[in-house]
């Protein structure tokens, strides 16, 4: 085996990280010029911008009018934690986990909240738990799209309309790239830094009327920190869902989110965003189909993510290596791409099997992914030659 020739065309944008994700095409710092910096978020201008962020989110994501949308601290993690600590404990809970972030929510519920009525349904990387085994008389906590496994639920058909418990969905790498059936979801969370390539640290929390009812009729047995409290005097603090944030937001980040929402509308809103992500994922799928050393980590094509595309190396020469050798090969491959300025941050997540994770969300340009595929072949061949010779 000889080293392959280096491709002649590089991606114009080598940023394929799964979070923070690449900025929208054409983004420059000048889009932040109108940010309300140095102004109180409680002043008229700050309130207006925060309210617009909520209104634009509702319109583009097609969130029902009777659902509340709030901007909360600490990114998607903060939004999920607010829901878990404020709502769980009223009944049993089914925890679904098939990758690291879902497993993290299991840890919070079982080891931190210490709920003895929690049931965990797990699956290995690349697979989903048995969705038909979920008990919807319980609350149900799950990720829509497993960011570190590239495995998503195919749709909401497995969730009954007449469920008794709440469905709490971490949708951070799905929102704006996949259609979310809000009638089946009572709590939806995401962050700005994923599909729209916004800035980090702020989370979004979307509540159905059923979730609001839970907040107003149930008081957890444990104390709640200030940043988790969503009620006052037994009633929902509506201010949070009008943009009156619990803590001080970055108005630069808010301005950036407003810019990304405006861009989202310019490409066709939710339909346009989904089409862009699907087209990007298709580029990778076509390459995988013609490449014998790589495969999707997601075993079922119906569950493959169109944003966080996770791949595993299936070359028998590499799979015959021990775990350290396989991990070393994958790291050498990504390092070669990084050194050439072709692709940054595309190694698999630290808890996932060794391989690649390529972000294909809507802010990525299809032409950049097309260029990257040839470089993946080059990097594989370049690393394989000395590995195979050894």
In sequence order, which ranges of 234-303 are alpha helices (DSSP H)? Answer: 251-266, 269-289
User: CA 123, CA 127: separation in Å to the nearest integer?
Assistant: 6
User: CA 91, CA 80: separation in Å to the nearest integer?
Assistant: 18
Which residues of the chain form CATH 3.40.640.10? 30-265
**1 — pLDDT class (breaks 50, 70, 90):** low
pLDDT at 209 over 90: yes
**388 — pLDDT class (breaks 50, 70, 90):** low
Q: What is the pLDDT of residue 236?
A: 98
User: CA 377, CA 380: separation in Å to the nearest integer?
Assistant: 5
Compute CA 239 distance to the chain's CA centroid, rounded to the nearest angstrom: 26
Which residues of the chain form CATH 3.90.1150.10? 269-389
Burial of 217 (0-12, 13-18, 19+ CB in 10 A): exposed
pLDDT at 231 over 60: yes
What pLDDT digit, counting tens, does each position of 55-99 carry?
999 999 999 999 999 999 999 999 999 999 999 999 999 999 999
pTM above 0.85, yes or no: yes
What pLDDT digit, counting tens, does each position of 337-382 carry?
999 999 999 999 999 999 999 999 999 999 999 999 999 999 999 9
CATH architecture of the domain formed by 269-389: Alpha-Beta Complex (3.90)
User: CA 359, CA 16: separation in Å to the nearest integer?
Assistant: 5
Give the three-class secondary structure for 44. Answer: helix
Give the pair of three-digit tokens for residue 5: 């020739």
pLDDT at 291 over 80: yes
pLDDT at 387 over 90: no
What pLDDT digit, counting tens, does each position of 7-33 carry?
999 999 999 999 999 999 999 999 999
Using an 8 Å Cβ cutoff, are 312 and 296 in contact? yes
**192 — pLDDT class (breaks 50, 70, 90):** very high
114 vs 83, 89, 152, 227, CA distance in Å?
A: 16, 10, 27, 21
- CATH topology (fold) of 30-265: 3.40.640
User: CA 147, CA 149: separation in Å to the nearest integer?
Assistant: 6
In sequence order, which ranges of 62-167 are alpha helices (DSSP H)? Answer: 75-87, 100-107
Mean pLDDT score, 189-208: 97
Q: What is the pLDDT of residue 273?
A: 98
Q: What is the pLDDT of residue 145?
A: 98
Compute CA 265 distance to the chain's CA centroid, rounded to the nearest angstrom: 20
Give the pair of three-digit tokens for residue 237: 């603090």
Residue 231 parent element (H or E): strand 231-232
Residues 366-386 as b/e (b if ≥16 CB within 10 A, e otherwise) read: eebbbbbbbbbbbbbbbbbee
- Which of 135, 136, 141 is closest to 87 using CA atoms? 141
pLDDT at 150 over 70: yes
What pLDDT digit, counting tens, does each position of 45-67 carry?
999 999 999 999 999 999 999 99
The sign of the torsion formed by the CA atoms of 174, 177, 179, 180 equals positive
pLDDT at 217 over 60: yes
Q: What is the pLDDT of residue 199?
A: 96
């Amino acid at each position: 085996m000889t080293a392959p020739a280096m491709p002649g065309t590089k991606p114009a944008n080598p940023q394929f990280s799964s979070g923070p994700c690449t900025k929208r095409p054409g983004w420059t710092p000048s889009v932040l010029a109108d940010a309300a910096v140095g102004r109180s978020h409680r002043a008229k201008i700050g309130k207006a911008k925060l309210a617009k962020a909520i209104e634009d989110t509702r319109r583009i994501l097609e969130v029902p009018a009777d659902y509340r949308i709030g901007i909360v601290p600490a990114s998607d993690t903060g939004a999920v934690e607010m829901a878990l600590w404020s709502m769980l404990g009223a009944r049993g809970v089914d925890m679904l986990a098939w990758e690291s972030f879902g497993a993290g929510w299991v840890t919070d519920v079982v080891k931190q909240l210490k709920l003895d009525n929690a049931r965990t349904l797990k699956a290995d990387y690349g697979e989903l738990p048995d969705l038909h085994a979920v008990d919807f008389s319980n609350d149900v906590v799950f990720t829509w799209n497993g960011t570190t496994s590239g495995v998503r639920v195919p749709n909401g058909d497995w969730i009954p309309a007449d469920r008794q418990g709440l469905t709490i969905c971490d949708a951070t790498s799905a929102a704006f790239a996949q259609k979310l059936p809000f009638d089946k979801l009572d709590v939806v969370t995401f962050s700005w830094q994923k599909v729209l390539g916004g800035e980090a640290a702020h989370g979004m929390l979307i509540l159905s009327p059923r979730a609001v009812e839970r907040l107003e009729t149930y008081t957890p047995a444990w104390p709640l920190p200030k940043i988790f409290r969503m009620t006052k005097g037994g009633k929902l603090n509506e201010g949070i869902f009008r943009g009156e944030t619990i803590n001080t937001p970055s108005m630069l980040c808010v301005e950036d989110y407003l810019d990304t929402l405006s861009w989202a509308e310019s490409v066709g809103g939710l339909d346009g965003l989904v089409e862009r992500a699907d087209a990007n994922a298709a580029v990778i799928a076509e390459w995988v189909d013609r490449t014998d050393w790589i495969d999707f980590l997601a075993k079922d094509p119906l569950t493959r993510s169109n944003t966080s595309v996770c791949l595993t190396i299936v070359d028998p020469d590499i799979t015959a290596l021990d775990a350290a050798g396989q991990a070393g090969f994958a790291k050498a491959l990504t390092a070669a791409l990084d050194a050439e300025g072709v692709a940054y941050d595309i190694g698999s997540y630290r808890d996932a099997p060794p391989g690649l994770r390529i972000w294909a969300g809507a802010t990525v340009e299809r032409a950049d992914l097309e260029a990257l595929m040839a470089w993946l072949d080059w990097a594989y061949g370049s690393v394989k030659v000395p590995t195979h010779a050894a």
